[in-house]
Amino acid sequence: MKIWWWVQMCAGRGTCKPVLKGSRFHFSLMTNRICEMQKDRGIFEKLVQVGKYNVEKNGDDEKDCINGSAMNKENFKKYSEYIKKDYDMLKKKLRDAKENYFKGSYEEHLFDCIQNNDYKDLIIADVIYEKEKNVLCIGEGNLSFSTLIQKNLSSCKVVATSMENEKTLKKNFGNVFSKNLKILESHGGIYVPEINVETIYEQFPENTFDVIIFNFPFVLPSNDFIQSKWKIQIDKLMDDKTSYMKYYKKSEYFLLNKLFYWLFKNSSILLKHNGFLHVRVNDKYLTCDFSNTFSLSLVQKIDFSNSYMVYKSLRYIPSMMYNSSSFRNDSSSSSSNSNSKKNVMFTSHGKIFKTFKMAHTSTLIFQKGTPPPKDDHR
């Protein structure tokens, strides 16, 4: 049995089962229009702006090199060094002109994180992760995200969960998973396998976590599910690719909506008051149903793409971003293999090839117990 550092655990599963009454459900009109909202820049990009590092001169022209493809590895390294070197200056500059850079309750939180912490006690990317927080990472695959938080913020208490068992993830991710698990646990983190988002509230007491993270949730509808859900003969459907894809996508969104429902419901139970839920998603899923967020309110939508460079530098590997040889370090894999350049997602069903572009990704920030911001019609 796992031993939790920061709470007195109930003996056995299912002993902490708070009930959410219907009258406490929170409905936010803004969450229905997430796909229409403008994306804000991440805090790393904003600090680049504050320090005025993002302007390169080319003759008489000035170029905003934080935008788009200009945020490459070389530029990121330069910006990161500037922010680290000038951190105290940036803190003072923000104090003197706070209203020019930070607006809204969530950005007030980011301002406080910067003012109250040294640079070494933060991870600054799309959001800020700070020291001494209880963090729950849901749906981890290779454990790279939970590991980078625990390793770089050792005073945090990180719990990583996965739907699959440890044996399956070792098979899928090989040395990457095993190495990350060793690092996570050696720095004080905990890994708990076979945890479903639908029942995760049974594992922990209420109001335990400061932050809950779910990176790029996905579902894989089976043919049996498609057939039973929509009352159609799958054999006949397979002969018509267009019709099959229609029902597959319909099933995908049905299951994703169900997943988000349980994510919001159980995050409402497990988060502390004013705690945050970070959901990173492929933009095509922003049309999912976010109407019922229980006690959580959407406070910001952030462009994740440029901030990915921060996490990549800390060895974050999104499961769907790399091919199998990248995960397994399999030198025998041929570069000419037709699958070598495809994005691979390892699942309990085996390898699934899916289209995934980091350029079209968002970070959605929800906060517990905070009224939704006024609709600014962005």
Distance of CA 192 to the CA centre of its chain: 18
Q: What is the model's pTM?
A: 0.84
Q: Where are the alpha helices (DSSP H) in the chain?
A: 43-50, 73-85, 87-96, 98-101, 105-115, 144-152, 166-173, 175-186, 223-230, 234-237, 241-270, 308-313, 324-328
Which residue ranges form the domains of the chain, and what is each CATH number?
129-324+349-368 (3.40.50.150)
Do the Cβ atoms of 320 and 344 come closer than 8 Å?
yes
Structure tokens given for 140: 């981890």
Sole residue written with tokens 């040889």: 325
CA atoms within 13 A on the CB side of 218: 20
- Could you give the percent of the chain with pLDDT greater than 90? 62
Beta-carbon contacts of 7 under 8 Å, excluding residues fewer than 6 positions away, are 204, 205, 208
Residue-wise pLDDT for 251-274, tens only, equals 999 999 999 999 999 999 999 999
Q: Which helix (H) or strand (E) holds 280?
A: strand 271-282
Eight-state DSSP code of residue 35: G
Residue-wise pLDDT for 192-215, tens only, equals 999 999 999 999 999 999 999 999
Distances in Å between the Cα of 237 and the Cα atoms of 155, 189, 230, 255, 352 are 54, 47, 11, 20, 20
Residue-wise pLDDT for 48-94, tens only, equals 999 999 645 554 444 455 554 457 888 899 999 999 999 999 999 99
Residue-wise pLDDT for 133-156, tens only, equals 999 999 999 999 999 999 999 999
What's the whole-number mean pLDDT along residues 357-366?
A: 93
